[in-house]
Chain A
Amino acid sequence: MFKNRHTNISLLVVILFGCVLFYIGTDGFKAFTEETARVNKLVDEQPEFPNVTLEDSKGRTYSISEFEDKYLFITFLYTSCNTVCPQLEYNMAQVYDLLPKKYIGEDIVFLSISFDPERDDPSTLERYRKAFKSDGETWRMARIKDQNELDSLLEKFGVIVIPDGRGNFTHNSAFYLVDKNRRLIDVMDFTENEMAADKVTSILEKEVGQQ
C-alpha cells in the first residue's frame, strides 16, 4: 500500500483538500446547519430593523419608531400554527416573567410579529394575546399589513417562511433582541428561557447603569 510514492502524495493532497473543504463549508467546524450559520452571521452584521408599519391587536397602527429608546424582544409567528409557535410564545411569556419588572415597558418592549397578515387581523391577535396573558402594552402582538415591508423585515432578520400549501408554514424560530438604535444585537435559542432572560437582564443592567 505504501510502495507508490505518487499515490501517497495524491492521497495526502486529497485529505488536505477534504479538510479545507469541510473547514470552509462549516465556517471552521462551527456551523453544520444553515440556521447556525445564519445566526452567527446576523449577530456579526447587526442588521437594522427596517421602517415598517405595525398594526397591533388593539387595532392601533404605528411605525416601529413608536418604540424609540427601548429595546425590543421579538418573535415571529402566525396564530394558526399549532406546533412550534405556541411553544415559542409560551417561552416568550416565561422570559417576560423572568425579567426584572422595572425594565418592562420602560427599557424593553416585547413584540410578537405575525407573518400571516391575511388571517391574523387585530381580533385574531387579540384572542391570541389573551391566551398567552400578554397585556397588549408592554408585550404587543402585531401584524405588518404591507407585504413588501414584511418581506424586507423577514429577509433582513433571516426569517425563512415556507407555506406548505395547506395553510401552514414551516419557519425557523428564535428570540430576537433589537437595541435602542434599532439594530439586531442578538438571536437567541427560544428553548433556553433562562439563558435568554439572563442575557437580556445583563444587557439592560449595563445600559441603565450607563445613564
Chain B
Amino acid sequence: MMTQFIYGLLFYIFLMLPPVANLVESIMITHMHMQMPMLVVSGFLMAGIFLKRFPRFFEKWNSNGIPGITLFMIVIIYWTIPRTMDEALTYQAIEAWKFISLPFLAGFPLRDSWKKLTKAGKNLIIIIFTVKYFGMGALYIWSEDQLCNNYLVIDQLTLGWGFITTAICLVIYLVYAFTVDPTKYE
C-alpha cells in the first residue's frame, strides 16, 4: 500500500511538471483522454493507504459505494464539458482545480466505491458512460461550431472519434459481460 501510494504520488507530481502538462494539453485528445484519466489513476493509486487507515470513515459514509461513484461521475462529466477544458487552459485557478478534483474527488472515491458496487451496479455505470461517450462523440464530430476556443477544429474531430472509439470498446465489454458466463470456463 505504501509503495503504491509513493508510485501514485510520483506519478501525480510527474503529471504536474510544466513540460509534461503543457505537452499533453497542447493536443485536445491527449488532454481529455490521457491527462485526465491519468490524474484519476494517480488518485486511485494514492487512495489505497487512506482507505486502509480510515476504513471506518468510508464504511460509515460510503457503505454501498453509491455516494462515491456518484461523486466520481459528477467530476468526470464536469470535465467533459467543452468549456471546462478551455478554462483549464485559460485560467490558472481552473487548472489547479482540475489537478485537485480529478485525483482526489474522482480517483479516491472510485477506488473505495467500485468494489462495493454490485455487478448490476457496475454494469449500469458502464452503460451510462457508453451512452454519454456516444453522445459526446456525436457532439464533437457533428457540431457546426468550434466548441473550444483553444483548439483547432481538427482536434475537435479527433476527440469526437476518440469518444466514439472508447464507447465502442465499452459496448464490446458489455456484450461480453451479458453474454459470456465466466463460470463455464473455470
Chains A and B belong together in one complex: yes
Q: Which residues of A contact B (CB under 8 A)?
A: 1, 4, 6-7, 9-11, 13-15, 17-18, 21-22, 25-26, 31-38, 160, 162, 164, 170, 172
Question: CB-nearest residue of chain B relative to A9?
Answer: B61
- Of A9, A17, A22, A38, the residue contacting B149 (CB under 8 A) is A38
Contact A170/B153 with A7-B61, A15-B70, A18-B74 known, Cβ cut-off 8 Å: yes
Question: CB-nearest residue of chain A relative to B61?
Answer: A10
Complex interface bits, B68-84 against A, C-beta within 8 A gives 1, otherwise 0: 00110010001001111
CA–CA, A35 and B151, complex, Å: 12
Which A residues are CB-close (under 8 A) to B84? 25
B70, B81, B149, B151: most-surrounded residue (chain A CB, <10 A): B149
CA–CA, A80 and B71, complex, Å: 47
B60 interface hit (Cβ, 8 Å): yes
Contact A33/B62 with A14-B71, A160-B150 known, Cβ cut-off 8 Å: no
Nearest CB on B from A37, distance (A)? 6
Report whether B62 and A7 are in contact in the complex, using a CB–CB cutoff of 8 Å.
yes
Report whether A7 and B67 are in contact in the complex, using a CB–CB cutoff of 8 Å.
yes
- Of A33, A162, A170, A172, the residue contacting B83 (CB under 8 A) is A33
B87 interface hit (Cβ, 8 Å): yes
Report whether A25 and B66 are in contact in the complex, using a CB–CB cutoff of 8 Å.
no
Which B residues are CB-close (under 8 A) to A6? 60-61, 63
Report whether B62 and A172 are in contact in the complex, using a CB–CB cutoff of 8 Å.
no
14 CB-based A-B contacts, threshold 8 Å: A6-B60, A6-B61, A6-B63, A7-B61, A7-B66, A14-B71, A18-B78, A21-B74, A21-B78, A22-B78, A25-B84, A31-B83, A37-B83, A170-B153
B152 interface hit (Cβ, 8 Å): yes
Which B residues are CB-close (under 8 A) to A33? 82-83, 86, 145, 147-148
Chain B, 81-111, CB within 8 A of any chain A CB: 81-84, 86-87, 90
Nearest CB on A from B122, distance (A)? 15
Across chains A and B, the number of contacting residue pairs, with CB separation under 8 Å, is: 81
Contact A172/B66 with A7-B61, A32-B82 known, Cβ cut-off 8 Å: no
CA–CA, A11 and B66, complex, Å: 7
Which A residues are CB-close (under 8 A) to B30? none
Question: CB-nearest residue of chain B relative to A19?
Answer: B74
CA–CA, A162 and B61, complex, Å: 47
CA–CA, A52 and B84, complex, Å: 33
Nearest CB on A from B39, distance (A)? 17
B64 interface hit (Cβ, 8 Å): yes
CA–CA, A160 and B86, complex, Å: 12
B146 interface hit (Cβ, 8 Å): yes
CA–CA, A37 and B70, complex, Å: 27
- Of B70, B86, B149, the residue contacting A14 (CB under 8 A) is B70
Nearest CB on B from A164, distance (A)? 6
Which A residues are CB-close (under 8 A) to B145? 33, 35
Question: CB-nearest residue of chain B relative to A160?
Answer: B149
Question: CB-nearest residue of chain B relative to A15?
Answer: B70
Report whether A14 and B152 are in contact in the complex, using a CB–CB cutoff of 8 Å.
no
CA–CA, A21 and B146, complex, Å: 24
Which A residues are CB-close (under 8 A) to B66? 1, 7, 11
Report whether B146 and A25 are in contact in the complex, using a CB–CB cutoff of 8 Å.
no
A7-B67, A34-B83, A35-B147 known, 11 other contacts, Cβ within 8 Å: A4-B63, A7-B60, A7-B61, A7-B62, A14-B71, A15-B74, A18-B74, A25-B78, A25-B81, A26-B83, A170-B153
